[in-house]
Amino acid sequence: PPADFRSAINTGSVAWTPDGARLAIAGFGGNQQPRLFPSSIWTVDLSTGAVRDLRSAQTTSDFYPRWLRDGRILVSRTHRGLAIIDPASGADALVYEPPKPWNGSMTILFFDTSLDGRRVAVVAPNVGLAVVDLTSGAVREVELASGGGMPPIEFSADGRSLVTRWSLDVSTPFWPTSIAAVDIETGVPTVLADDGL
């Protein structure tokens, strides 16, 4: 990256393409400072060293990049929702916006894409746990059968469940939590490991 590039701290891991050929990083450039200027997604081609700043035409802060199988990048856009960026053209589009009115944090901090890249699981304001179809935009809230699912979340390999932290007791500061696979269709959890942090 350019000498003045600065990575945006605590905004997700550096994201690799499935073939390992490129990176996507949230960061700042041009002598900008975090919290004073918008962040954008930067791509790095590892074979050529080419770096590209995919800054939106609008004033946005983009975090937590995820590569989709079709080569586009899914990002969380501060106070807006989830957007998809085409790294070839720089074109971007908002694909999911949590319902308003928003309360508390308005930024989606926890999300994961299915292995086929067609769906994204989110923990979003006014929704809770949900699965968004990236093609149709349809949103399916995951109604939890009992207990409470807590971030982070991750799709299971078969795409039928979301792996999450799980607890029946949240009344104490350090409640015992389990790791569970929550069935997307029924909301029923299958505990995989007990007393995990």
Confidence of residue 109 (pLDDT cuts 50, 70, 90): confident
Q: Between these two residues, 109 and 11, which has the higher pLDDT value?
A: 109
Sheet (strand 128-133) strand order: 110-113, 119-124, 128-133, 139-141
**Per-residue pLDDT at 12 exceeds 90:** no
Place 2 in a pLDDT band, splitting at 50, 70 and 90.
confident
Task: State the pLDDT at residue 44.
Answer: 93
Burial 3-30 (b: 16+ CB within 10 A, else e): eeeeebeebbeebebeeeebbbbbbbbe
* Mean pLDDT for the stretch of residues 103-119: 83
pLDDT for the residue 64: 92
pLDDT higher at 105 or 151: 151
State the average pLDDT over residues 107-122.
89
Rounded to an integer, what distance in angstroms lies between the CA atom of residue 84 and that of residue 76?
Answer: 9
Instruction: In whole angstroms, give the CA distance from residue 127 to residue 106.
Output: 12
Q: What is the pLDDT of residue 35?
A: 56
Beta carbons of 1 and 7 less than 8 angstroms apart: no
